[in-house]
Structure 1
């Protein structure tokens, strides 16, 4: 990313590192955030995603590197002077205040006039569908309603960027799904930049314009949900985003790859002749057929019914494990064929990351 800037960038990290006790929790990271998009920082616990959020908010300072907001360094700018607001995982609401006073809290600190406070709080509550709840006590609110209060309290200050630190993790599955739609719609209506932290892959894929996948303090890949799902750059991303069949292979030449003891046409090019690579085929891209029609023959080892499909685990003659998602049922011990199109094969360099360099 060095050497160029996005035209509409609102936040830019330039070679940012954060050390704790000499250990890098964020390691030489550079990226840019555009205005008015929904971004997700996705990765396992300890990968650095919440550290990025805290750095943007101003709760901590980088050990090395520079953070820019509208091309101005904010390394030394205190949190209360930044045009960002944060919605925390536990919402951090004041239980002794009603809904109105929770939302109005930041405005009162700014010593705003009461008439202006009334107007802004009413508008914020309308945005999150909580009109008429002004006098409700926080203890009387459901989990989803409390989250909306926290969001209203954040947006009433008219931030340019809203930071959300796993705000859906405390909700049950049904409410969580509903809130995903509500958050996405709210971002579109407000037109401000959302930066959302989660470890839930499905949540990230459903909500985001752009995803940053992190692991061990580095950005492994960034892109649209479709890019990251269809074109993972390395084993970690392929394995972390959805389910995958990942096998060792060899790129014979452009558009021809070898794996599982056979050669197959593919749509990938630009590799070295005979380069060792890794192959990804998603379970839903494998069609279960009669053995003679398949490009591979496998024997079914186990089968689970997942509601919308069967999850089939099978092994080929070379001992490779294959995961298949199919609406067809197979019997344990049965030999079946697996058919797949060239487009279903995704070839990856070994150890590649999003900046195009191989990991050491």
Structure 2
């Protein structure tokens, strides 16, 4: 195992009830040290179950979980170098801020001067110096969250698990805490594993994202990978807004949709293979009709602050969503232009494993042809 890998799941299946479908279905992945990972997906997809398995709050039904090369399947939670920040923060309301942060250190029976030093350092780290005597019930949601983080990091874990810790915050505070969490992770240099159903949150904070669906990982990669190269319709729909239309791959770098052929940058599919085309709304440019690759009629328009969100329909009835700084006339016709790089080609229902195998096979064919 590579030294950089701190946690590894190998074909992990989790079933809570023998008569029910597994919550996790043969999940495999590696977690490297010092990075910010996000488990992204809707409720019930298995992301919190993964956190529980890492923390030791649950055991896998099948498969192996290792930490630093050691099998952890039956290792109790209190023997793992892992701490968790829960959605409701799980603070003790009868204890002040200092005592909440110090709780784990007192359980370890550390000496009083050591506890004092470590707690004050943790509070300074989360910008709560001087708040030690404050009652947690008197604090804002963002402050309580930082107390929960201080309580977690004071124990110097190798991995910090965060289970939707921003979901109860209002939009402004949530955005502020995204910056704070990302900065904390980079300053601490420890591994963060963050659970959310919010794709904007995942894209903003992560080094690496696992997109989950029904107990499986649909796709994993950097935020740019996930956004620019979705593996299938599920990921394209879940990560941001997308225009997804059916088409045919004519040949390498040439796709057909809406009755016309367009140059693209994708290759490796069979000639005349059915495909789905993804074009992001921000990659569509409003131009005069004679300059457009698509001719559409504007149906509605909303101002979103930094851009207009414009809904259009082409002659076939296909809807196109456009994000533009230019205002359009509702009911009027406009042209839409896009570069070949804006076209992303997907196979129907393709998984990440199938995608990897196809790329590998295509590379071998190219090498053999040369």
* TM-score category of the 2 structures, normalised to the smaller one: over 0.9
**Cross-structure match for 1:186:** 184
2:122 is aligned with 1:130 = no
Counterpart contact for 2:231–2:355, Cα < 8 Å: no
Runs of 4+ with deviation above 4 angstroms: none
2:315 is aligned with 1:317 = yes
Q: TM-score under structure 2 normalisation?
A: 0.94
**Cross-structure match for 2:8:** 12
Q: 2:226 aligns with which of 225, 228, 246?
A: 228
Correspondence 1:257-336 to 2 at 5 A: 257-336=255-334
User: Which deviates further from its counterpart, 121-130 or 249-258?
Assistant: 121-130
| Distance in 1 separating the partners of 2:328 and 2:118 | 60
| Distance in 1 separating the partners of 2:52 and 2:353 | 23
**Cα deviation, residue 309, structure 1:** 1.1
| Distance in 1 separating the partners of 2:104 and 2:261 | 64
**Cα deviation, residue 6, structure 1:** 4.5
Correspondence 1:1-360 to 2 at 5 A: 5-21=1-17, 22-356=20-354
Q: Secondary structure at the match of 1:59?
A: coil
| Distance in 1 separating the partners of 2:330 and 2:176 | 38
| Distance in 2 separating the partners of 1:305 and 1:48 | 36
Q: Deviations over 1:235-274 (max 9, x none)?
A: 0110100000001110000000001111000000011111
**Cα deviation, residue 175, structure 1:** 0.7
Q: Secondary structure at the match of 1:95?
A: coil
Q: Secondary structure at the match of 2:23?
A: strand
Counterpart contact for 1:261–1:318, Cα < 8 Å: no
Counterpart contact for 1:279–1:345, Cα < 8 Å: yes
| Distance in 1 separating the partners of 2:38 and 2:2 | 18
Counterpart contact for 1:6–1:34, Cα < 8 Å: no
Structure 1 residue runs of 5 or longer lacking an equivalent are none
**Cα deviation, residue 357, structure 1:** 5.9
Higher helix share: 2
Structure 2 residue runs of 5 or longer lacking an equivalent are 357-370
| Distance in 2 separating the partners of 1:20 and 1:162 | 25
Q: Secondary structure at the match of 2:128?
A: coil
| Distance in 1 separating the partners of 2:310 and 2:232 | 24
**Cα deviation, residue 115, structure 1:** 1.0
Count of equivalent residues: 354
Counterpart contact for 1:11–1:68, Cα < 8 Å: yes
Q: TM-score under structure 1 normalisation?
A: 0.97
**Cα deviation, residue 302, structure 1:** 1.2
**Cα deviation, residue 356, structure 1:** 2.4
**Cross-structure match for 2:367:** none
| Distance in 1 separating the partners of 2:175 and 2:312 | 32
**Cα deviation, residue 76, structure 1:** 0.3
**Cα deviation, residue 310, structure 1:** 1.1
Distance 1:348 1:19, change over 3 A: same
| Distance in 2 separating the partners of 1:158 and 1:303 | 51
Q: Secondary structure at the match of 1:212?
A: strand
